[in-house]
Homo-oligomer: A and B are copies of this chain.
Amino acid sequence: MSTTASNMDDSDPAPIDFRIHPDRYRHWRISTSSPIAELVMSVDPAGAMFDGYELKLNSYDIGVDIELYDAIQRLRFEHPEVKTVILTSDNVGMFCAGANIRMLGGAAHDHKVNFCKFTNETRNAIEDASQFSGQRYLAAINGTAAGGGYELALATDYIILMDDGNAAVSLPEVPLLAVLPGTGGLTRLVDKRKVRRDLADVFCTLEEGMKGPRAVEWRLVDETVPRSKMEGRVQVRAGEMAQSSDRPEDAAGIELTALERHYEGDEIHYPFVTVKLDRQRRNVEIIIKGPDSEAPADMAEVLGLGVEFWPLALLRALDDALLHLRFNEATLGTLIFKTVGDPDRVEAFDRFMHLHRNHWLMREIWLYAKRTFKRLDVTSRTTFALVEPGSCFVGFLAEPLFAVDRSYMLDGQFEGDARAAPQIRLTASSFGPLPMSNDLTRLETRFLGEPENFEKARLLIGQSLDARAALEAGLLTFAPDDIDWEDEIRLLLEERASFSPDALTGMEANLRFAGPETMETKIFGRLTAWQNWIFQRPNAVGEQGALRCYGTGQRPEYDKKRV
C-alpha cells in the first residue's frame, strides 16, 4: 500500500490522512472569479491511494474524495465571495466514471463501508452549502457521468448535460457490478429529483444510461445544451443562481491552514483535542479542551484569529480525529468523550457565537459544528460521554452528551480530589442550530416520548446542573457516585468490548435515529445498510462476483437465489 506521500511527518503512522491543501491536489483544480468558482475534476490516473489500480477515466478512490472534501470546506471558509460553484471535469468524454472498480474489488469490507460513508457525507456537505450557506452548486456534465459520477451531480442544485450525442448520465452499478449506486443515487433519484419509481427502475438497469430530451423529461437532469453553447449557458445559469445568495460581496475569507497533529506514543495531540488510544481495551478517549483565552470582543478579532478561534480549532480537530479513527483504527470500538476546561469561558464563547450567528463566518462555524456532530452520529463506533470534575459540557460543547449512546456523570466529587463536583449547562445551542440528520435536535429526538421533559429542559437554560439535577431532567443515562464510578465505567467498557462489533453497529444505527426520516437518514439507514449487505454477498465480492470479474473479460456467475 502506498500512501498520499505528502503532508505526513515520520512520526505520523496514519495510512490515510485527511489533511490536504490545494497546492498538493492531484485530482482537482479550484479557480474562483467572484461570485463564481469552478471546481474541476481532473483525476491523475497514477495518483491512487493504494497499489493495484489506476484511476482511469476520472474514477475516484478515497484520496480523490479527500481532496473534494477539502475543496468544499475551503470554498466555504476561504471564499465568502463565492456564491455558485460549477462542478465540472476536464476529461473529454468522461465527466466522472464513479468510484474506481478495481479499488472496490480489492478493498477490505470495512474500508469500502467507510469509503461510502465519507463520500456520502461529502455529497451531503454540498447540499448543506446549497441550502444553508448561500453557496449553490451547478453540475456541468461535459461527458459521461457514470455511477458515482452521476451521484456527484445529483448532490448539486442544478444539472446541465452536454448534448453532443455522447455525454450521458447513468447508474450502471446493478447491471455491471452487482452492487448499488452507493453514494445516495437511488435515494436522490426518487426522493430529491422525484423520478417516477418505474422510470428509475428502467434507468438503473440501463448500462449506457440516458441522454438528450428524455433525460430532461424523466427529470434526470435539468437541461441539455449543445456543445457549442455549453460554456456560455453554464456561466449564465451560474450567474442566475448566484443572485439569490446572501453571501457577502467583499468580505475576505480565513485561511484553513494546515491542521497540527502530533503523535506521542498512543496519544494524538491536536489543538484543543487529545485522543488517547487504548489498544488493549480497544477504546479511545477523546478529550476536548475548553478555550485558553477569553471570548473575542467582536468578529474582527475572530477574523484575525482565523483557524485559531477556539470553536473552529476544536471542530477541525474533532472532525479529523473521527475520520482518522474510522479509517485507520478499525478495532478501537468505543469512543469516550470528555471535556476539560472552564465552563464560564465556554459559555462566554457560546454566547458570542449566538450573538454573531448571522455573520457569514460564524454561520459557517455553526454549520461546520452541525456537520461534525452529524459525523459523530453516523460513526459506527459505540460512543459514551463521561462527565467528571474539571469538565466543561456547556452550550454547544454539551452536544456530545446527547449524541452519544450513553452518558455518565459523577455524582459529587472524587475522594481526595479538591475539584468541585461536575456540572453541565444547557444553552440555546441544544435547541436549534445543531439538528441531527432527521432534522430534529438531539434533545427533541431524546425526548420524543416525553415532550414535557423537552420543554422542561428549555427552562433549564443557563443553570448549572449537578448530576442529580441533570439525571432528573433526563439529560444523563446514569450518575454513579465516587464509590461506584471506577468499577461501573470499567465494567461498562469491558462489557462493550466483548460484544460483536457488527451487532453493535446494527443496533446503534437503529436506536440513534428515532422519529422522522429524511433523505439523509434514508441514505445512511436504508441505502447504506443494503449496500453493506451486498458488499458481503458472493454475487458481488466472491471469486466469481461481479466486482472481481469486472474488466477481466470473465462473466460473473450469480447464485440465483433471491432472499
A-side residues, CB < 8 A to B, are 109-110, 113-114, 173-175, 177-180, 186-187, 189-191, 193-202, 204-205, 219, 282, 330-333, 380-381, 404-407, 445-450, 474, 477, 495-496, 499-517, 521-522, 525-527, 529-534, 536-537, 539-540, 546, 556, 558-563
Give min CB distance, A151 to chain B, whole Å. 13
Are B510 and A187 neighbours in the complex by a CB distance under 8 Å? yes
Are A511 and B186 neighbours in the complex by a CB distance under 8 Å? yes
A558-B504 Cα distance, complex, nearest whole Å: 12
Give min CB distance, A455 to chain B, whole Å. 15
A405-B199 Cα distance, complex, nearest whole Å: 9
Are A537 and B502 neighbours in the complex by a CB distance under 8 Å? yes
Are B405 and A201 neighbours in the complex by a CB distance under 8 Å? yes
A191-B521 Cα distance, complex, nearest whole Å: 15
A509-B330 Cα distance, complex, nearest whole Å: 29
Answer whether A517 and B511 are a contact pair too, CB < 8 Å, given A194-B448, A197-B446: no
Are A503 and B562 neighbours in the complex by a CB distance under 8 Å? no
7 more contacts with CB within 8 A, not counting A110-B563, A202-B477, A502-B539, are: A110-B562, A174-B507, A178-B503, A191-B514, A330-B563, A333-B562, A513-B526
- Closest residue of chain B to A108 (Cβ to Cβ) is B561
A142-B510 Cα distance, complex, nearest whole Å: 28
Give min CB distance, A421 to chain B, whole Å. 21
- Provide the residues of chain B in CB contact with A450, threshold 8 Å: 194, 196
Are A507 and B186 neighbours in the complex by a CB distance under 8 Å? yes
Among candidates B194, B330, B506, B533, residue contacting A180 with C-beta atoms closer than 8 Å: B506
Answer whether A561 and B186 are a contact pair too, CB < 8 Å, given A198-B405, A503-B173: no
Are B525 and A506 neighbours in the complex by a CB distance under 8 Å? no
Are B510 and A198 neighbours in the complex by a CB distance under 8 Å? no
- Provide the residues of chain B in CB contact with A406, threshold 8 Å: 198, 201-202
Are A193 and B449 neighbours in the complex by a CB distance under 8 Å? yes
Among candidates B449, B509, B563, residue contacting A526 with C-beta atoms closer than 8 Å: B509
Answer whether A501 and B561 are a contact pair too, CB < 8 Å, given A449-B219, A510-B527: yes
- Provide the residues of chain B in CB contact with A529, threshold 8 Å: 525-526, 529-530, 532-533
Are A534 and B449 neighbours in the complex by a CB distance under 8 Å? no
- Provide the residues of chain B in CB contact with A194, threshold 8 Å: 448-450, 514
Residue among A404, A499, A533, A560 having the largest count of chain B Cβ atoms under 10 Å: A533
A540-B173 Cα distance, complex, nearest whole Å: 28
- Provide the residues of chain B in CB contact with A531, threshold 8 Å: 506
- Closest residue of chain B to A171 (Cβ to Cβ) is B507
A509-B526 Cα distance, complex, nearest whole Å: 8
- Provide the residues of chain B in CB contact with A195, threshold 8 Å: 449
Are B560 and A501 neighbours in the complex by a CB distance under 8 Å? yes
A534-B204 Cα distance, complex, nearest whole Å: 26
Residue among A193, A503, A511 having the largest count of chain B Cβ atoms under 10 Å: A503
Answer whether A536 and B533 are a contact pair too, CB < 8 Å, given A190-B514, A474-B196, A503-B178: yes
Are A174 and B510 neighbours in the complex by a CB distance under 8 Å? no
Are B562 and A477 neighbours in the complex by a CB distance under 8 Å? no
Are B110 and A196 neighbours in the complex by a CB distance under 8 Å? no
- Closest residue of chain B to A194 (Cβ to Cβ) is B449
Answer whether A562 and B180 are a contact pair too, CB < 8 Å, given A204-B507, A529-B533: no
Give min CB distance, A114 to chain B, whole Å. 7
Give min CB distance, A471 to chain B, whole Å. 11
Are B200 and A539 neighbours in the complex by a CB distance under 8 Å? no
Are B556 and A197 neighbours in the complex by a CB distance under 8 Å? no
Residue among A380, A381, A522 having the largest count of chain B Cβ atoms under 10 Å: A522
Going nearest first, the 10 A-B pairs with the smallest beta carbon separation are A194-B449, A529-B529, A178-B500, A517-B517, A525-B526, A506-B530, A190-B514, A186-B510, A113-B563, A536-B536
Are B526 and A189 neighbours in the complex by a CB distance under 8 Å? no
- Provide the residues of chain B in CB contact with A508, threshold 8 Å: 201
Answer whether A500 and B380 are a contact pair too, CB < 8 Å, given A180-B506, A191-B515, A536-B533: no
